[in-house]
Structure 1
Amino acid sequence: MTFQRKHYAILGLWVVALIALGLFVWARFAQPGYQNAMADVIGPGDYELVTTSGESFTQDSLKGRPSAVFFGFTHCPDVCPTSLGDIATWQEELGADNQIRVFFITVDPERDTVENLKDYVGWVPDAVGVSGSPEEVEKAVKAFKIYARKVPQDDGYTMDHSSNVLLFDANGRFFEPVGYQESFDRAVAKIRRMQRG
């Protein structure tokens, strides 16, 4: 190996080592701080909605037991039914004694009444639908830092919205998201880690 090649090889090793060190520092120090900061801003707000069980839904509703929060709508063609199906399989895996509460909050309060939400989520264990006035739903959308907007169509409109399931611990603090169609094992592992506290 010539001197120049040896020099480039050593330089390359140093670059790889520095990248690895940077990733370690991020994982050890920066990422937990970032997650803690997010836990303080996702969920809290002055919204007041209504659940399909007749109770009000506020930021305090997330306290007491671990919860999953999903924003969707009953006219959703694919993401919402798929996500509810995933949540149902998580609940089955967790077992009756370890299931988490599930809040399905509509992003389409004009069409999603508490009554039709009850039918829509009723088959998912420990799930309730959540609706309210457009103004209160908008407050919740902002409080949970999710994306939702009305998209006009020839026959009316549909809703474009975030597809993550948001996990909250028993203290009502944001824990982690579960991505759309994230693997079953990863999703259940996140929930169990959250339950262990």
Structure 2
Amino acid sequence: MRRAALAVAFAVALTACGGSDRELVGFQREPAPVVAEFELPDLSNGGEPFPLRARPGELLLVYFGYTNCPDFCPTTLSDARLARQRLDDPGRVSVAMVAIDPDRDLPILDEYVAGFFPDAGHALGTDDPSLLAQVAAPFGAQYDVTTNDEGEIDVAHTTQLYAINDNGEIVLTWQFGVPIEDLAGDMEQLLDTTA
């Protein structure tokens, strides 16, 4: 009886502190899509193949975007950077940006990503449209790059940020505009489950 009372008291204490009752802000898909089989050239590392999975006990954040984006891309990467800085151990989270406008992005993507994540960024890009489409599909990432009548390039794309675990599963997806503190809270919670 006394053990049961202690267990209840411990559970109440955890709840009062936030404990494991915190709800994730991002959404999860069941079953979680697996992307571990995919690799893209990492322009941050001389074009070496980069597998879409986190290192053991870590997380990999993935974003599909383009360097000329005026709003969504720089805001999302900046928010991810600030959220990562709030973690107990930021070194357990890496970030990869996948170029959806390779014709313009491949020469400058490495520098662009390094501007946000000098120590943990991966600039992923390919000039193979079929490979890019195959990689984007399980994420649900969509994009369209067209040239308008004035000869200007128009890019439309989804704006979600994805978290991948060390099994290569997409364990969480955040919509654009999630507050930085919620991003950090979700990341910390995910890291707690992978430790």
Give the TM-score, by structure 1 length: 0.72
Q: Give the ranges of 4+ consecutive aligned residues of structure 1 lying more than 3 Å apart after TM superposition.
A: 95-99
Secondary structure of the 2:30 match is helix
Deviation at 1:95, TM superposition (A): 5.2
Deviation at 1:156, TM superposition (A): 2.3
Deviation at 1:131, TM superposition (A): 0.2
Counterpart pick for 2:62 among 69, 73, 77: 69
Across the two proteins, how many residue pairs are aligned to each other?
159
Structure number with the higher helix fraction is: 1
Matches within 5 A, 1:160-171: 160-171=156-167
Q: Which has the larger radius of gyration?
A: 1
After superposition, the CA RMSD in angstroms is: 2.0
Higher relative contact order (CA 8 A, sep 6+): 2
Matches within 5 A, 1:12-51: 35-37=29-31, 39=32, 41=33, 43-44=35-36, 47-51=38-42
> Identity over aligned residues, as a percent?
20
CA contact (8 A) 1:44 1:143 kept: no
Q: Distance in 1 between matches of 2:54 and 2:90?
A: 18
Counterpart pick for 2:84 among 80, 91, 98: 91
CA gap 1:97/1:62 in 2 versus in 1, 3 angstroms: closer
CA deviations over 1:114-171 (Å, ceiling 9, x no partner): x411110112231111001222212211232211112433232121111110011232
Q: Distance in 2 between matches of 1:43 and 1:99?
A: 19
Partner of 2:147: 152
Counterpart amino acid of residue 49 in structure 1: L
CA deviations over 1:66-90 (Å, ceiling 9, x no partner): 1100000011111111111111101
CA contact (8 A) 1:102 1:128 kept: yes
Deviation at 1:35, TM superposition (A): 2.9
CA deviations over 1:36-65 (Å, ceiling 9, x no partner): 31x1x25355x4420121321234x44532
Q: Structure 2 stretches of 5 or more lacking a match? A: 1-27
Deviation at 1:96, TM superposition (A): 5.3
Counterpart amino acid of residue 123 in structure 2: G
CA contact (8 A) 2:139 2:170 kept: no
Q: Structure 1 stretches of 5 or more lacking a match? A: 1-33
Query: Are 1:143 and 2:138 counterparts?
Result: yes
Counterpart amino acid of residue 167 in structure 2: N
Partner of 2:9: none
Secondary structure of the 1:123 match is helix
CA contact (8 A) 1:165 1:178 kept: yes
Matches within 5 A, 1:84-123: 84-94=77-87, 97-113=90-106, 115-123=107-115
CA gap 1:71/1:170 in 2 versus in 1, 3 angstroms: same
Give the TM-score, by structure 2 length: 0.73
